[in-house]
Structure 1
Amino acid sequence: MHDRFALHYDPEAFNIAGQKLLGRQSAGVGLLRALAQEGTQGELGCFTADRRHADACLAALRDDGYAGELAWVASSRPQDLKRFGCLYHPGADIERLAWQRLRLDDRDYSLCGVVHSVANHEMMNTVTGLLTAPVRGWDAIVCTSRVVRDSMRLLLEQQAAYLRTRLGATRFELPQLPMIPLGVHCDELRFSDQERFDARARLGIGLDDVAVLSLGRLSVHAKSHPQQLFAALERAEKGGRRVHLVLCGWFAGEAIETAFHEAAAALCPSVNLIVLDGRDAQHKRDAWACADIFTSLADNLQETFGLTPLEAMAAGLPCVVSDWNGYRDTVRDGVDGYRIATVMPAPGAGQDLAQRYEDGVDSFEMYCGHASQAVALDGAGLAQAYGSLIRDPHLRRTMGDNARLRARQEFDWRAVLARYRTLFEELAERRRADPSLNPPLPQHAPDRLDPFRLFASYATRALGPSSLVELKPEASLALVRQYRELGINRFAAASMPTLEEFGVIFGAIGPRPMQVEELSDTLGPCDRPTLLRGLAWLCKMDLLRITER
């Protein structure tokens, strides 16, 4: 394997001190620890402008047991990277490093970045900028999941089409886009029976109770909307067992915290809510140790992989997750847990959301929040999955054991680091590659796409003109009004139908399943993108079902 490479060391990217939870910093720290624990595999370089940063990098490696040496490569002397063969950058923005390399022989070394999300404008600009940057086919940007690679490819195709039309460009060279997951340190997520007993005692969880854990950022905009989590746990058949929902994370502010508690009280009054500060190491360890089931219902555009399900699998917990983003690359449905089907509007229902973000009307957080309001899970399937695991301890153990084995074989940092080293060797062998790209003409600004087009592969299926919809028996405008006024939903009124328009929709849908296109024709001048988002929101509220032909 390739035994030399250099790290482009940015202290912020390899440090979780003061960070709120997870993210690319956790991935950077995990990589450093994996390198330290791997032992001496050759020469490791540290490419940075400040020698003190190289010293800090070495100190961090030493803290984790690294016994080798670290060579400082000053950023003013990129030519010294030739002996390392590859420079690893902890982000997707390798174009500035490619420009720096241009004054050298660009066959001297490869560049390898990693993309965690392409949802914000900065990252969209970074991706589309690759087409005009001097990157080569022996460079790479690692995609942590298939869906983020799909989004990157669409951005690249749209930008290439624009450049062909505007400038007559006919030749493009891109880096490789291999898929390598993030990793976890599996050995650190094993808990003894005594640790489990003590953690449950501290949190007031009985021996026969069932604890469902959700760990990560607690946000209605930027992680996962909690409505269907709360509602499904309430509806789940529990077989007489007492259920605790452990939320371990941090709130973005008091208003978000209040909204979560308000929604939990309204939607799952029979479930005991336990909130732990995920920034506290002991609280986080207690959360993992006490849990019987892990759940993460990501429905957000900026989520592309998700470390917490991997951590849960390493901890031996069955996972109930949304069939969304990289979760479908990690959790095997019916084996390690359950992946719950998702739906969102078909491409064409969100160009106005992209424009609001572009115009500064919405922040990035609100752009993600508006889009996520139109992403729904199969509520009945979610409740059934929770109920099956809550009632059956044998099923929990079987799925948990499957998950632990898969995490160790596929996602432990030792396995992930080996894949990186193999990639570096492959890049060295591709120094003469020259790929081309011939995309169709663009219809929109290539880096400001309708989010439901850009992220079309995230959902299980699309809600489009040919979809059949019908109201559930319990659906009513009173419930629509109640749910719209919940703090977790109120913010998105600008991107949803008005209450009056929801009334028209309710009046138009008959007693049989109705095709969305027919519904749209019935409603006349109703804005179709808003209608599609409204129908998806009704699904999210479990007031509408989508039926197959």
Structure 2
Amino acid sequence: MTSEKRIWGTLDPFYEGGPVLGRTVANSRFLIELLRRDPFDEYHFFLPGKWAADPLRKHLEKTAPALLEQNRVRLLRRSDLAGMLGRVSYYCFHLSDCITCQPFVSRMRNRLSAELFPVTGPIHSLSYAHFTRSFLQHLWPGTTRRDAIVCTSTAGRRAVEGFFDQLRRGFGLGEDTHPAPRLARIPLGVNVTAYRPCERSGALPVKILAFGRISHHSKMDLVPLIRALHRLVRDGMDPASVELILAGWGDKDNQTLETLENLAANTGIRLTTVLRPNEPRKHKLFSEADILVSVADNPQETFGITLVEAGAFGLPVVASDYDGYKDIVVHGETGLLVPTIGPATTPEIDLEAPLTFDSHYHLRLAQATAVEIPALADALGRLIRDPELRRTMGAAARRRVETEFSWPGIIDAHLALWEELWREPADPEPLRDVPHPLAPEYGALFGHYTSRVLEDGTLLKAGRTGQAFYRNKDFPNLYEGIRYAIDLDVVRKLVFFARSAVDSATLIRKVSSIARHLNNTEIENHVLWALKQDILERTE
């Protein structure tokens, strides 16, 4: 990189309101920790509108006020992106999700930027049926060795590899002609200093916390958990010796919750539900718990930040041996992993998924994935009976979080990735005009709709409105959505150079000589807009 100033860019606010879900928490925390570390000279956010910019500004006023005061955080319009890429040398662009528009950022970079800076984005949930098309976007000739997808878990990385393998087989795409971004593994993190382990007395009842979306078709089916506890009761465990706390995002009229309450009542085990807890309430729940249990069975789950949070609180974990949980829990050391079993192929669900609701096929997939209840009961029984084992595993979990999942280390890993990507060879010139096959070429597709197209030899002259505009006696209508694209000073120059009939190529060349901030395509757009407004008119 030749620029002395290091500028980080993105198209996303990272901060968003709404339900407290893993993706939103992870993105918001990443931004807080990046700005706290402050490794760059400036941070540029190219946002889709005021509705995204205003909440982000308020968030930054609380979390990074000094950077705002120093004007080192810039909230720009998405429409400013092309112009800025042509003028500014960026160190990297990092998006809040690889699914949305990462390849198209790379395409614009290839076309406009002097240097090919790294473009990266993380994975979150991967199991939505339409995501296959999203990953197809990444397989195109303009992908460079400086493009990367950040996979939060080993399981997630294998899933992304599977998407690319399936797409290459299905469409006959070669790795040499349709390369994929690099896949890097960097986990999510927690603010370790905000989560403190608590001294737990070991007194009864043992509090077992299950934290997450309370939904049978989303994160996990909790019925096997209650079945496992019932199994322990039937084997002689006193039901009064444990309390099960279900907490997370859910609704009071949730039929699933009613089912769980009825099942728990049949076992004699006390069940407490806490819906939509805020952050202080969440901390209290983790602080008072003795065991965290998470029996994920749904491919929507990719990482499992709740398990990391539990470790930060010094909690041992009983978790299904599934998805990203395999990276987080060290079996027998920081917790216990429970075997799972599922189908090798899913032909019926594969047929239905693109044609039905997300909740429907996720439910079918989850109901075909079994968390082995006898093993779950054994794991819970071991920790319920042995307070010293709980303390030992909880302490080991805390140490592991401190070394593997603290945000400073996660930010360091991203910085190392971006630095490593810069060392990859990448020549921009062969990529300047490489089109993306999934981006419509509107001129080519719809140019035949008009009577003619603007050609080099098209003769133009100042129109009546243009003459009045030049004398400040008329003012053209400039819609809000086009203000960024039309420079009225340039339009005035068009009128000046078209006092007498002039061909469009000559007109564009003359304006280009004195409006160097615009390229020829942008000047051509000014010419067409001026024709539309009667500022110019075509002549024979």
Answer whether TM exceeds 0.5 for this pair.
yes
The separation in 2 between residues aligned to 1:402 and 1:153, in whole angstroms, is 32
Structure 1 segment 332-351 matched on structure 2, within 5 A: 332-347=330-345, 350-351=346-347
Structure 1 segment 527-538 matched on structure 2, within 5 A: none
**Match for 1:421: what amino acid?**
L
The separation in 2 between residues aligned to 1:62 and 1:433, in whole angstroms, is 40
The separation in 2 between residues aligned to 1:86 and 1:65, in whole angstroms, is 20
Residue deviations 1:126-175, cap 9 Å, x none?
1122113733221111011111211111211121223327xx89622221
The separation in 1 between residues aligned to 2:285 and 2:190, in whole angstroms, is 17
SS at match of 1:246: strand
The runs of 5 or more residues in structure 1 that have no matched partner are 198-205, 435-549
The separation in 2 between residues aligned to 1:288 and 1:208, in whole angstroms, is 16
The separation in 1 between residues aligned to 2:5 and 2:222, in whole angstroms, is 45
Match of 1:309 in 2: 307
Structure 1 segment 107-506 matched on structure 2, within 5 A: 107-132=115-140, 134-164=142-172, 171-190=177-196, 207-236=203-232, 240=238, 242-251=241-250, 253-266=253-266, 269-347=267-345, 350-360=346-356, 363-432=357-426
**Match for 2:74: what amino acid?**
A
Whether contact under 8 Å (1:119, 1:301) holds in the other structure is yes
SS at match of 1:208: coil
Whether contact under 8 Å (1:4, 1:43) holds in the other structure is yes
Deviation at 1:300, TM superposition (A): 0.3
Deviation at 1:370, TM superposition (A): 0.6
The separation in 2 between residues aligned to 1:373 and 1:317, in whole angstroms, is 28
Residue deviations 1:12-37, cap 9 Å, x none?
x412x331x32211111111221233
SS at match of 1:120: coil
Q: Which has the higher contact order (CA 8 A, sep 6+)?
A: 1
The separation in 1 between residues aligned to 2:18 and 2:153, in whole angstroms, is 27
Whether contact under 8 Å (1:247, 1:274) holds in the other structure is yes
Change (3 A) 1:122 1:3: farther
Whether contact under 8 Å (2:89, 2:114) holds in the other structure is no
Structure 1 segment 4-19 matched on structure 2, within 5 A: 4-11=6-13, 13-15=14-16, 17-19=17-19
Structure 1 segment 512-527 matched on structure 2, within 5 A: none
SS at match of 1:83: coil
Change (3 A) 1:102 1:3: closer
Change (3 A) 1:359 1:426: same
Match of 1:496 in 2: none
Whether contact under 8 Å (2:221, 2:297) holds in the other structure is yes
Deviation at 1:116, TM superposition (A): 0.9
The separation in 2 between residues aligned to 1:340 and 1:184, in whole angstroms, is 24
User: Which stretch shows the higher mean deviation, 207-216 or 229-238?
Assistant: 229-238
The separation in 2 between residues aligned to 1:311 and 1:163, in whole angstroms, is 42
Deviation at 1:50, TM superposition (A): 4.3
**Match for 2:10: what amino acid?**
H
Change (3 A) 1:40 1:106: closer
How many percent of aligned residue pairs carry the same amino acid? 31
Change (3 A) 1:145 1:106: farther
Match of 2:469 in 1: none
The separation in 1 between residues aligned to 2:158 and 2:311, in whole angstroms, is 25
The separation in 1 between residues aligned to 2:181 and 2:171, in whole angstroms, is 18
Change (3 A) 1:227 1:345: same
The separation in 1 between residues aligned to 2:177 and 2:282, in whole angstroms, is 51
Whether contact under 8 Å (2:12, 2:46) holds in the other structure is no
Whether contact under 8 Å (2:116, 2:426) holds in the other structure is no
SS at match of 1:177: strand
Whether contact under 8 Å (2:9, 2:45) holds in the other structure is yes
Deviation at 1:411, TM superposition (A): 0.5
User: Which stretch shows the higher mean deviation, 109-118 or 42-51?
Assistant: 42-51
The separation in 2 between residues aligned to 1:364 and 1:393, in whole angstroms, is 41
Deviation at 1:59, TM superposition (A): 4.1
**Match for 2:283: what amino acid?**
R
SS at match of 1:224: coil
Match of 2:62 in 1: 63
Deviation at 1:341, TM superposition (A): 1.0
User: Which stretch shows the higher mean deviation, 317-326 or 139-148?
Assistant: 139-148
Whether contact under 8 Å (1:14, 1:28) holds in the other structure is yes
Whether contact under 8 Å (1:9, 1:53) holds in the other structure is no
Change (3 A) 1:320 1:133: farther
Match of 1:442 in 2: none
Change (3 A) 1:108 1:56: farther
Deviation at 1:324, TM superposition (A): 0.3
Deviation at 1:9, TM superposition (A): 4.5
Deviation at 1:336, TM superposition (A): 0.4
User: Which stretch shows the higher mean deviation, 294-303 or 47-56?
Assistant: 47-56
The separation in 1 between residues aligned to 2:212 and 2:382, in whole angstroms, is 24
The separation in 1 between residues aligned to 2:91 and 2:40, in whole angstroms, is 15
**Match for 2:384: what amino acid?**
I
TM-score normalised according to structure 1 size: 0.70
Deviation at 1:368, TM superposition (A): 0.9
Deviation at 1:51, TM superposition (A): 7.1
Whether contact under 8 Å (1:250, 1:277) holds in the other structure is yes
**Match for 2:81: what amino acid?**
R
Deviation at 1:247, TM superposition (A): 0.4
Whether contact under 8 Å (2:215, 2:221) holds in the other structure is yes
Deviation at 1:337, TM superposition (A): 0.3
Residue deviations 1:304-342, cap 9 Å, x none?
111100000011000000010000011100010001111
Deviation at 1:188, TM superposition (A): 1.5
Match of 1:47 in 2: 46
The separation in 2 between residues aligned to 1:324 and 1:372, in whole angstroms, is 12
SS at match of 2:183: coil
Q: Please tell me whether Structure 1 or Structure 2 has the larger radius of gyration of its CA atoms.
A: 2
Number of equivalent positions? 413
SS at match of 1:71: strand
Match of 2:498 in 1: none
Q: Does 1:80 align with 2:77?
A: no
Change (3 A) 1:396 1:369: same
**Match for 1:148: what amino acid?**
G
SS at match of 2:218: coil
The separation in 1 between residues aligned to 2:51 and 2:64, in whole angstroms, is 20
The separation in 1 between residues aligned to 2:387 and 2:5, in whole angstroms, is 46
Deviation at 1:191, TM superposition (A): 5.5
The separation in 1 between residues aligned to 2:427 and 2:312, in whole angstroms, is 38
Deviation at 1:424, TM superposition (A): 0.7
Change (3 A) 1:63 1:143: same
The runs of 5 or more residues in structure 2 that have no matched partner are 429-540
